[in-house]
Amino acid sequence: MVRPLVLLLHLSCTNTALQVTSSTSRSAPAAGMASSAAPDVVETELLPFIRVYKSGRVERLLGTDTVPASFDASTGVASKDVVIDPATGVSVRLYLPPAAAASGGKKLPVLVYFHGGGFMIESAASPTYHRYLNALAARAGALAVSVEYRRAPEHPLPAAYDDSWAALAWAVAGSAPGGPEPWLAAHGDASRVFLAGDSAGANIAHNVALRAAAEGLPRPCAAVVGVLLVHPYFWDPTNAMAPELEVRIRREWRFMCARPDAEVGDPRICPTCPEAAPRLAALPCRRAMVAVAGDDFLAVKGRAYHAALLASGWRGEAELVDTPGQDHVFHLLQPGTEAAAGMLDRVADFISRA
């Protein structure tokens, strides 16, 4: 069964052109006129998520709904959208919890969050992530920065990594007293920054954390104190899945990178590969949480990451949250369940203990 938000996508590169007849794929000719244009044809399908046509048109089949920033009466969280780079259009959605008003002037931890969706669907403004960030910001008492990074295939990797790094740097710089973004300047504590994401977003969080370790943050007092990787999208050479799933990941990665020669040994997707694993010791935080779901076929990769982190010589505390009987991003797909509530509590507690 295909679950709508499961990250691992089925890549079907058509060997022959497929004529598209769906009304959503091309405009019908005007009444009384025959269409002289050649029909648009599918070049690549990653069902049920996306189609790419030979004309260059991209059709996203899921994850396209959005909701505006607003005040959420159920949590007391206010949100707003801010463009951080007019040249690229990269933006963030900020979430200010009621704890800001009750803090007595004490600043709040800053949570920089990267949404999932295979680097190609979903959005910081989607109903799924808007609901989740409202709940998480309120429960954790954190100022959340949800990143709207550019997506493949229009913007292949490393665009999402670069945009996410830019968002972290912007959030840290903006948390300085008198900074240009008033919520961050008044309430954001750059000495308590958390990086978090689910699925592809967890992959981004890991890679952004390593970049922070290598390049440093724009303020001397700033620090990434925690990284949360929920159902991360990784590959690992020693913990094999079914052969068809291994092939699928390889094909997906090439699509995301827009490079037919892209290999899953790339440390960005394989942080546990022999040449990449030593870099785990440089993770800049003192605490990490890796969450996996028992029925998720990515779980074996998440467990391998946790084990490699412990073995790397990293001098931090690594927590593994393994939820049996649940599938990929269950906490997003089934937010009203006991399991989802428990997951929210674990993530929020990890942040609020900073």
Active site residues: 199
Strands 77-85 and 317-323: unpaired
CB atoms near residue 34 (< 10 Å): 6
Name the 3-class secondary structure at 108. strand
**Of 192, 304, 294, whose CA–CA distance to 238 is shortest?**
304
Residue with tokens 């989740």: 132
Q: Which two tokens stand for residue 98?
A: 């009621």
SS3 content of the chain, % helix, strand, coil (to 5): 30, 25, 45
Q: Give the angle subtended at the CA of 228 by the CAs of 306 and 119, to the nearest 5°.
A: 95
Alpha-carbon distances of 351 from 8, 290, 310, rounded to whole Å: 28, 13, 20
Tell me the backbone φ, ψ of residue 351, rounded to 5 degrees: -75, -45
Give the separation between CA 120 and CA 154, rounded to whole angstroms: 9
Q: CA torsion angle for 86, 87, 88, 90 (degrees, to 10)?
A: -20
CA-angle at 184, arms to 178 and 189, nearest 5°: 95
Measured CA to CA in angstroms, residue 237 lies from 267, 277, 313 at distances of 12, 12, 20
